[in-house]
Structure 1
């Protein structure tokens, strides 16, 4: 039986793609171990999947001044020795990394031990952790064709993102029973794992106009439910959705979303026409803006900058997206990156 170590952590975006690979890895007969940080959110998420988990020391690598810059390198060095010991004892055939700072010592240790390493970069421009890891990688998977120019030509390959297969098996009628919606088109709104105050506010400001044409499922984030709108006909709010998400996707005709790489790749795989409102450059390194631009250029998405929200009619933009939905579906159906699990599994089998 071949063995694989998965790594990645810090945010859900560095964990859920690894989880999406688990069924295919098990089906292919791989024995699986996960290396993450000792205190990161990945520990709980991976243990819930009944996958053996090892925690290592982890430090953040920063481009800006912080007192922790003096101590974190020692944590990274400690994590490197811990990862090397785990890898040596487990003797995997290959390592797959989804990124995040905890992955850097794992990738380095695997490379030192001559074990093939495949890493995955979700965003258009590689983050600092993957920039470092890329020097030690055998192959680097990307979501976007634009990313290839930032990476070594002999290593980079366009694969798309691993998508949770259960999302493709939603039950529209089950969702209709949960929601009690009538036959109006359904709009699904996703504000990211923590929700988005800006998106939530814009939607609720235009709510009455949008509800004239659509039923709405609004995943608004923890603590963001508006109690004044509870019971409003055609409008359901959820802080977070897990098991029902696949059914809500099946019911939805169009989606309004932030532009996180994993989410928009799920929308591509599901062929869901979408309106993206990327996180502004003032609040991030601008990766969501680039992600959205790429999808807009490929005709997968309609894009509105969040700074423009006060000056437009959001209900009209959503209505226009719905009217042109078949054009977006047609463009998405021509994508060759929507089956990221299969593309990445082919690489894992090739190099393990």
Structure 2
């Protein structure tokens, strides 16, 4: 009897890295692969992967972007410590393959995989390589891309979707006097959405006479700001810190207002929901803008600049879309 092939997955930080990796991991488990996940307790992988009952090991590591000077000075030592922790996991587990999907936790995993001559594949969800994947692309056999990119080392694969997303039937938009809006600030929330979108909702009701407006707003850790603003404006809204069963709300909504993370956009394209996308202007290498611009140029979504985004302009953009 042949032994199971062993695969280490690493992805962390945000749902945009974790969910596509999870989609592939679950398929490999169904194909009788032995899967181990390496992550940190800081990221969403702890909550998501533990809920899926997938074997996960944690290492101590953190990113250095937008961190203080002391953290940057300590970064070589933090990386060495993380690599040693990963080395011990690899020595015990003896994987046949490593697949990394982005996030700082993947760097020590990819480096140890390379040093131990274990095949390494990486997947980039965005149109622009993130810092971790830029580093690991120097050592990987192939770089799988969610968007098309020229180069012999890049292989276009698209972005893997959770099965629950693939099962959603495409929606047709309701009449304008009945409107269900889903607001997604990314897996960590968007403070600017929490501050401004309630005022856009007020405009839709008062200026554009939307009679039956319902809103579900995924607001992240600053959800209290959104709740207070909706309450001040006397607008009913279901404010959530995080949405686990996103498919339920995709089926419910008529339009989505969202950031421009690769996985959120890929899900909306899969389901066929009209969307207004507002890229996070501080995203690494402006990758969210490039994600949304490609789809906007194809007529697949409406793109808004965060600097020009307020309650009035958002309401007007919806009416014209």
Q: TM-score, normalised by structure 2?
A: 0.84
Segments of 5+ residues of structure 2 without an aligned counterpart are 171-175
User: 2:137 is paired with a residue of what secondary structure?
Assistant: helix
Aligned to 1:196: 190
Task: Assess if the C-alpha contact under 8 Å between 2:9 and 2:25 holds in 1.
Answer: no
Aligned equivalent of 2:257: 256
Instruction: Provide the residue aligned with 1:297 in structure 2.
Output: 297
Q: CA–CA distance in 1 between the matches of 2:39 and 2:203?
A: 46
Q: 1:70 aligns with which of 73, 83, 91?
A: 73
Alpha-carbon deviation of 1:96?
A: 1.0
**Pairing of 1:26-45 with structure 2 (within 5 A):** 26-37=29-40, 39-45=42-48
For 2:159, the equivalent position in structure 1 comes to: 161
Equivalent-residue separation in structure 2 for 1:38 and 1:226 (angstroms): 28
Offset at residue 204 of structure 1 (A): 1.8
* Structure 1 unpaired stretches of 5+: 173-181, 322-352
In the alignment, what sits opposite 1:239? 240
Per-residue deviation, 1:260: 1.5
Deviations 1:97-132 (A, max 9, x none): 011122111111112222221111122221221111
Whether 1:115 and 2:109 are equivalent positions in the alignment is: no
Distance between the aligned counterparts of 2:157 and 2:84, measured in 1? 31
Distance apart, 1:47 and its partner CA:
2.0
- Which residue number in structure 2 is paired with residue 184 of structure 1? 178
Matched ranges for 1:1-352 at <5 A: 1-37=4-40, 39-62=42-65, 66-145=69-148, 148-149=149-150, 153-170=151-168, 184-211=178-205, 212-213=209-210, 215-221=213-219, 222-227=223-228, 229=230, 235-281=236-282, 285-310=285-310, 313-321=313-321
How far does the alpha carbon of each residue in 1:57-96 deviate from its partner, in whole angstroms, 9 at most, with x for none? 3243559872222322122122223222322322222111
Distance 1:7 1:111 in 2: 14
Output the CA distance in 2 between the equivalents of 1:120 and 1:258.
21
Instruction: Please give the TM-score of this superposition, normalised by the length of structure 1.
Output: 0.77
8 Å CA contact 1:168, 1:246 repeated in 2:
no
Which 10-residue stretch deviates more, 283-292 or 129-138? 283-292
Alignment length (residue pairs): 307
